[in-house]
Amino acid sequence: MIARHWRVLLLLLLLGFAPGGHAAAAGNVWLLDIDDAIGPASADYLLRGLDQAQAQGAQLVVIRLDTPGGLDSAMRQIVKAILASPVPVATYVAPGGTRAASAGTYILYASHVAAMAPGTNLGAATPVQIGISGMDEKPPATREQDTLARKQINDAAAYIRGLAQLRGRNADWAEQAVRESVSLSASEAHRLKVIDLVADDLPDLLRQLDGRTLTANGQAMSLNTADARVLEHLPDWRTRLLAVITNPSVALILIMIGVYGLLFEFMNPGSGVGGVVGGICLLLALYALQLLPVSHAGVALILLGVAFMVAEAFLPSFGVVGFGGIIAFVVGAVILMDTDAPGFGIPLALIVSLAVLSALLLGGVLGMALKARRRALVSGDAWLVGSLVTVVQVRADNPFCGSVQAQGEQWQAQCSTPLQPGQHVRVTARHGVTLEVSATAPTAQGA
């Protein structure tokens, strides 16, 4: 009888741990926070957060979202990670007054649970860099570009419709958000079945999710979130650093610091400061540019402009090459970013400021060059002839010849009158390494 009870108990334990069943999740709830434009930094942060949550046995990951949109490439990385995550993901647009616009709408649709706080909104999911308003009024020369724009709009609409069908949400409104850039408030989104829940705060969201069964990566699980411990994982130093250097404005500044730092090192070798700072800044800028959707023509124009400004310091062009470089730099900076996504533009004021700074540096170099050109020569024959020198030594066998001190060196000298040590004479001509001098002052003994 005792052996039979043990067999029954063992069978119940095996059934309880059998995979594929509706097991009750008992792990912690991980909270990730995004409150800026979707970019390489936020994508890296979310991907690492989902991996760590899985490794730590979390039962649910909550993404607290507030974003105006962002880059399509970063958004698709996040969506792929959510779809492949074995841990359910709940995206929660909160607190009140926040939004999940553009790329944020796709992330909301891809999540296992879509929730919003009162006073929030979502939508306006049209890719902004390829908007198609007023296409019929455009000249024929742009019709081919408009055709490409329509293809991209259709691709985005199909992408979000597929996400809506996967999660059982309103696919028609999702497509409308892409094609017509419409938006919804939290209450309207819940009424139209665009989202699953409206929650006042995070505890309210966890209470409403308690007991729900979700399917993540083919595995069904029942949530136990009412009393679950919430672990908030804010962006670490790596994410913050990546967010700073992938800001297009910061990347542009890093390029300028890098180029001018290396130029300073080349003009003043040995100090090391310019080379070290310039090299680090330039490498960081290049790393940021390879993560951002940049225009290759813009990068080429910026580099060409900087090269022209540097060349102005070595060419006798009187500013033509340098100011041409400033124009190339400004045009390249304006077209540098190949997107109109929110948070990824370069302010015109920054571009103008960098151009003015470069012009001032160029003007300073030109001013120093012109001043040096007007200055009298202080080396070579032009300085020797006519200068006063001192007799250092007189030959014993020939008092008309000796050596003089000129430009820190001793020269052979000859004179039409006898020379005496310490005498001041004037150079009248140079013949190879011998100077011809004439007496101009009384003899001074005791050199």
**Where are the domain boundaries for CATH 3.90.226.10 in the chain?**
19-239
Q: CB-hemisphere CA count at 13 Å for 212?
A: 20
Per-residue confidence band for 396, with pLDDT thresholds at 50, 70 and 90: confident
pLDDT digits 0-9 by tens, 25-81: 458 899 999 988 898 999 999 999 999 999 999 999 999 999 988 888 899 999 999
**Where are the domain boundaries for CATH 2.40.50.140 in the chain?**
381-439
What is the third-level CATH fold of 19-239? 2-enoyl-CoA Hydratase; Chain A, domain 1 (3.90.226)
**Lowest mean pLDDT segment, chosen from 175-179, 240-244, 377-381, 387-391:** 377-381
**DSSP helix, strand, coil percent of the chain (3-state; round to 5):** 50, 20, 30
Report CA dihedral (339, 340, 342, 348) to the nearest 10 degrees.
Answer: 100
pLDDT digits 0-9 by tens, 313-329: 667 666 677 778 888 88
CATH of region 381-439: 2.40.50.140
Residue 317 is which amino acid?
Answer: S
pLDDT for the residue 16: 41
Per-residue confidence band for 186, with pLDDT thresholds at 50, 70 and 90: very high
Q: Is the pLDDT of residue 2 over 90?
A: no
Edge-to-edge strands of the sheet including 230-233?
197-198, 113-116, 89-93, 60-65, 29-34, 230-233
Q: Are 234 and 215 in contact (CB under 8 A)?
A: no
